[in-house]
């Protein structure tokens, strides 16, 4: 039987180059790329080779090792990371946030509220958080409520800070919140209202590097981020999360993630919601 030849690739990706790239990404960003991600690596980074006029991945690896390749690491991470998000994704998390933030503010136990969206992607998560807490506190509330939103991908941070989205992407926002906090720009684009934007600080942050903020935070959302890390990195990361979360504070993770054999400093209290216990 005649077999069609495999399509010829534009660039040569040798095994040693693939291993070099995966090592760089693991050491610098904590992201694990196994052999199943080879096609993704090739596809995403081929764009960088074209932009730099390189003919092979070996040239790209040499450039990353050079003194002039430091800025390229940022672009490499931007290319490799997958940003899948949406407004009010996993609604039960926002129901939980409404309940606990309302109780905290009403009880007087908290004069201020601090929330971190760690891995904010293009901004839908922190905007959903800010809308939820603002509604829970009440429009005339004098409470000090701030949301920190960070991501390793600088392009995503810029998109998030702009706060403009295709109008169809804002459909999952509950209607009462959409009427109050989303403004139409034109027939296809909508923008998050200044009242919500002003609650959020957006910054680029590599979770593996030192954190400039001191906390403590009342809630940390880190959803669909640790799926890229190995067990050792997860253990270190959640120990740091516990340190910066106030005692009794809450950690919210993604629907396919859990802290089993990762950390003993949290207890599971709901669907992918944990509370700091030590």
Does residue 44 have an active-site annotation? Answer: yes
Whole-number Å distance between alpha carbons of 71 and 75: 7
Q: pLDDT, tens digit, for every residue of 76-85?
A: 988 988 777 9
36 flagged as catalytic: no
Active site residue: 28, 38, 44, 178, which one?
A: 44
Fold equal for 15-80 and 91-276 = no
pLDDT digits (tens, 9 = 90+) for 93-142: 999 999 999 999 887 766 789 999 999 999 999 999 999 999 998 876 77
Q: Which burial class, exposed, middle or buried, applies to 193 when counting CB atoms under 10 A from its CB (0-12, 13-18, 19+)?
A: middle
Domain boundaries, the chain: 15-80, 91-276
Sign of CA dihedral 240, 242, 246, 251: positive
pLDDT of residue 110: 63
Catalytic entry in 17, 114, 134, 151: 151
As a whole number of angstroms, the distance between CA 103 and CA 128 comes to 19
Contacts for 185 with CB less than 8 Å, ≥ 6 apart: 164, 191
170 closest CA partner among 184, 159, 158, 186 = 184
The predicted model scores a pTM of 0.89
Contact residues for 172 (Cβ-Cβ < 8 A; gap 6+)? 86, 87, 88, 89
For domain 15-80, which CATH number applies: 1.10.155.10, 3.40.50.2020, 2.60.40.650, 1.20.120.790?
A: 1.10.155.10
CATH architecture of 91-276: 3-Layer(aba) Sandwich (3.40)
Please tell me which residue, 112 or 164, carries the higher pLDDT value: 164
């Amino acid at each position: 039987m005649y077999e069609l030849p495999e399509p010829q690739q534009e660039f040569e990706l040798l095994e040693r180059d693939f291993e070099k790239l995966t090592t760089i990404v693991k050491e610098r960003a904590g992201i694990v790329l196994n052999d199943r991600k080879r096609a993704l690596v090739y596809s995403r980074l081929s764009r960088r080779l074209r932009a730099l006029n390189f003919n092979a991945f070996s040239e790209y690896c040499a450039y990353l090792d050079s003194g002039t390749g430091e800025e390229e690491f940022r672009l490499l991470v931007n290319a490799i990371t997958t940003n899948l998000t949406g407004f009010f994704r996993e609604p039960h998390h926002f129901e939980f946030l409404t309940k606990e933030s309302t109780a905290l503010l009403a009880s007087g136990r908290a004069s201020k509220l601090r929330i971190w969206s760690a891995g904010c992607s293009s901004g839908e998560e922190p905007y959903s958080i800010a809308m939820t807490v603002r509604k829970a506190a009440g429009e005339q509330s004098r409470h000090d409520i701030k949301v920190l939103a960070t991501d390793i991908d600088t392009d995503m941070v810029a998109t998030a800070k702009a706060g403009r989205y295709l109008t169809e992407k804002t459909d999952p926002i509950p209607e009462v919140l959409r009427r109050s906090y989303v403004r139409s720009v034109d027939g296809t684009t909508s923008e998050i209202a200044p009242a919500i934007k002003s609650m959020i600080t957006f910054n680029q942050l590599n979770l593996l590097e030192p954190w400039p903020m001191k906390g403590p935070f009342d809630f940390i959302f880190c959803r669909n981020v640790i799926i890229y890390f190995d067990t050792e990195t997860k253990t270190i990361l959640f120990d740091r999360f516990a340190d910066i979360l106030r005692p009794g504070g809450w950690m919210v993770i993604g629907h396919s993630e859990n802290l089993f054999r990762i950390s003993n400093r949290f207890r599971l209290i709901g669907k992918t919601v944990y509370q700091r216990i030590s």
